[in-house]
Amino acid sequence: MADLLECLLQALPPIARITGGYATLTDKEGVRIRTVDSQGQEVQTLKGRIFNLAKEAGHTGSVSVGPSQITEGAEAWCLPLGEYVLAASNFERLKCEQELEESLKQALPFIARVAGGEAVLFNEEGRRVASVGVDGQTNVNFLGKVSVAAQQAIQSQRPVIGESISGIGAVAVRIPITKKFGFGFNNEQGVRRQQKLMEEVKKFQYARYNFTDIIGSSEAIAKIKSRAAFVARGISSIIISGETGTGKELFAQSIHNASERRSNPFIAINCGALPESLIESVFFGYEEGAFTGAKKRGSPGAFEQANSGTIFLDEISEMDFNLQSKLLRVLQEREVTRIGGSKPLRVDVRVIASTNRDLVEMINNGTFRNDLYYRLNVVELKVPPLRERAEDIPALVKVFINEFNNLLGKFVTKISDQAIYQLCRYQWPGNIRELKNCIEYMMNIVSVNESTIGVSHLPQYIQNVMAQGNQQEQPIGTLAEAVAAVERESIIWALKYTDGAKKEAARLLDISTTTLWRKMVELGIETNVSIK
């Protein structure tokens, strides 16, 4: 009997390792003599405890199979051998499976992001027990749905590829992990993007935004959206005025897409970004041989390309004075003549122009034609600066966080109240564009494991401004002084951000390099020193 006991005790470690759980030797009453884990280590806390299933086997003299007393869901078997009962369970194997399942569940947001669609976890019935979209949020509507393909994957223990049940045209992959669960993912987002692109191509339309893309519910933005939507139905020229970064082109595209011309071209030209030597050919096109380097058979200009559609003249205030008279003629006669050509071409184009400068002041200074101004300014829309609609900042921040979550592979779910408070207090001289750059900065420095943006993540220049504001009340000056101070601060920040690269700083501020130089001189910012 002593030899049998020693033999059984020696057998416990290999049995535990092979079965993936605990191996136990008890007496006929189920009292544990020794229990070892899959690593061969004795579990002292179980010594002397009664194992009911082993007790049953000891009394009946036959093999018993049933649930483990240690972990719910684990199974055990008991084999009576003389005065002893040998038992084993799959407790640790089950624990590993549960840990693997939990790990996969936590990985679903990453899988969804990389795959570009929904990621799911399903059970042995093919029923979804977890479902996450590309935004990292749980898809409550899809939980509990059964997929036949997922059932097949579990039954065959092989991956199954087929149609997704959550997105039309999307392809899904179902991969079994064990006989009890598996995971799957689809390319729903990629398919939607492709479908949207095809719709845009079919409509010959290059304007991407609609009024629903203009975020905010403040009274200031609601009024301008309402008025813009109303005038979109007309054919008259429009001037959209507003500070840099307020979203003037967003309004221009939305107006086009809300008009009867939405199925026709939308052509945007930045008047401040093109050199004077090229802008005329870009506007009106040219005939073959009109100048050295001209394309064979010539090229149509922006007005020809926009025929029956809309042309958006961004930064109209930066247009050369001599070119303004030619533009005026196009607007009056509704026809263009290519450079080097003699035959005028009829065009039907709605003109939307934008400016971040005071055109009336420019007229008084002799740098903008008053007749062109009145031709363009049939309807004027003034986009409010962000500081006048601070209540929209939380909604804008949420949109930008979601956007950069997707772009940067982060999983930020919220921003602290203190950080939102500071963002709402800041004056935002660069408006929405600056806010978006600020959120992009914070999303870059937040770690992958952080889910909340705090005050510590704010750019240093904003923290400095807030600190100064807390230390002393700002003296009240004239509006012109306040605007100049904000412009100066914004330009200096842009130059610091781009390490003194003026071309990049101008692009960031959405102004021409010429305008940047002029502003630097006016505001006393050194132009011959690279700001680091």
Q: What is the pLDDT of residues 186-234, one digit of tens each?
A: 888 766 765 554 444 333 346 889 999 999 999 999 999 999 999 999 9
If we measure between CA atoms, which residue out of 462, 445, 444, 454 comes closest to residue 416?
A: 454
> Alpha-carbon Rg of the chain, whole angstroms?
35
Residues of the chain with CATH 3.30.450.20: 2-89, 94-190
Question: Is 136 a residue whose pLDDT tops 50?
Answer: yes
Q: Which of 57-66, 100-109, 348-357, 387-396 has the lowest mean pLDDT?
A: 100-109
If we measure between CA atoms, which residue out of 493, 509, 428, 426 comes closest to residue 465?
A: 426
CATH, domain 385-467, list 3.20.20.70, 1.10.8.60, 3.40.50.261, 2.60.40.1180: 1.10.8.60
Question: Is 452 a residue whose pLDDT tops 60?
Answer: yes
Cβ–Cβ < 8 Å for 52, 30: yes
CA–CA distance, 431 with 453 (Å, rounded to integer): 20
Q: Give the DSSP letter of residue 283.
A: H
May I ask the CATH class of domain 211-378? alpha beta
Note the pLDDT of residue 472: 47
Residues 6 or more apart whose CB falls under 8 angstroms from that of 29 comprise 50, 55, 58
The Cβ of residue 39 has, within 10 Å, a number of other Cβ atoms equal to: 9
Burial 518-528 (b: 16+ CB within 10 A, else e): ebbeeeebeee
Residues 6 or more apart whose CB falls under 8 angstroms from that of 340 comprise 286, 287, 288, 289, 290, 291, 294, 298
- Mean pLDDT computed over 329-356: 90
Q: How confident is the model at residue 51 (pLDDT cuts 50, 70, 90)?
A: very high
Q: Give the DSSP letter of residue 120.
A: E
CA–CA distance, 503 with 529 (Å, rounded to integer): 14
Residues 6 or more apart whose CB falls under 8 angstroms from that of 214 comprise 221, 225, 247, 250, 251, 254
Q: What are all long-range contacts of 140-144, with beta carbons under 8 Å and residues at least 24 apart?
A: 142/118, 142/166
Segment 484-507, tens digit of pLDDT: 777 787 788 778 767 778 887 887
Q: How confident is the model at residue 180 (pLDDT cuts 50, 70, 90)?
A: confident
Note the pLDDT of residue 270: 85
Helix orientation angle between 393-408 and 431-445, rounded to the nearest 10 degrees: 50
Three-class SS state of 172? strand
Q: Which of 81-90, 119-128, 455-464, 490-499 has the lowest mean pLDDT?
A: 490-499
Three-class SS state of 310? strand
**Separation in Å, CA 388 to CA 61, 226, 242, 356, 392:** 86, 17, 12, 16, 9
CA–CA distance, 205 with 222 (Å, rounded to integer): 26
Could you tell me which residue, 448 or 451, shows the higher pLDDT?
451
Task: Let me know if domain 94-190 sits in CATH 3.30.450.20.
Answer: yes
Q: Give the DSSP letter of residue 490.
A: H
- Mean pLDDT computed over 85-99: 86
Q: Give me the sign of the Cα torsion angle 23, 26, 29, 31.
A: negative
Note the pLDDT of residue 276: 66
Burial 142-177 (b: 16+ CB within 10 A, else e): beebebebbbebbeeeeebebebbbbeebbbbbbbb
Question: Is 480 a residue whose pLDDT tops 60?
Answer: yes
Measure CA 296 to chain center: 43
Q: Token pair 């403040």 is at which residue?
A: 218
Q: 475-532 belongs to which homologous superfamily? A: Homeodomain-like (1.10.10.60)
Per-residue three-class SS string for 342-377: CCCEECCCEEEEEECCCHHHHHHHCCCCHHHHHHHC
Segment 15-24, tens digit of pLDDT: 999 888 899 9
Residues of the chain with CATH 1.10.8.60: 385-467
The Cβ of residue 205 has, within 10 Å, a number of other Cβ atoms equal to: 19
Q: Token pair 């909340």 is at which residue?
A: 452
Question: Is 2 a residue whose pLDDT tops 80?
Answer: no
**What's the pTM value of the predicted model, to 2 decimals?**
0.54
Three-class SS state of 124? coil
- Mean pLDDT computed over 316-329: 88
Cβ–Cβ < 8 Å for 428, 466: no
Concatenating the DSSP letter of every residue in 31-79 gives: BEEEEE-TTS-B-GGGTT-B-HHHHHHHHH-S-EEEE-SSSTT-EEEEE
Question: Is 150 a residue whose pLDDT tops 60?
Answer: yes
- The order of strands in the sheet holding 119-123 is 128-132, 119-123, 181-186, 171-176, 160-163
Segment 386-434, tens digit of pLDDT: 999 999 999 999 999 999 998 888 889 999 988 998 898 899 999 999 9
CA–CA distance, 154 with 121 (Å, rounded to integer): 12
Note the pLDDT of residue 203: 39
Residues of the chain with CATH 3.40.50.300: 211-378
- Ranked by mean pLDDT, which of 176-180, 398-402, 515-519 comes out on top? 398-402
Rounded to a whole number of angstroms, the distance between the first and last alpha carbons of the chain is 87
Note the pLDDT of residue 20: 85
Q: Left if phi > 0, otherwise alpha if psi is -120 to 50, otherwise beta: which for 136?
A: left
The topology under which CATH files domain 2-89 is Beta-Lactamase (3.30.450)
Question: Is 296 a residue whose pLDDT tops 70?
Answer: no
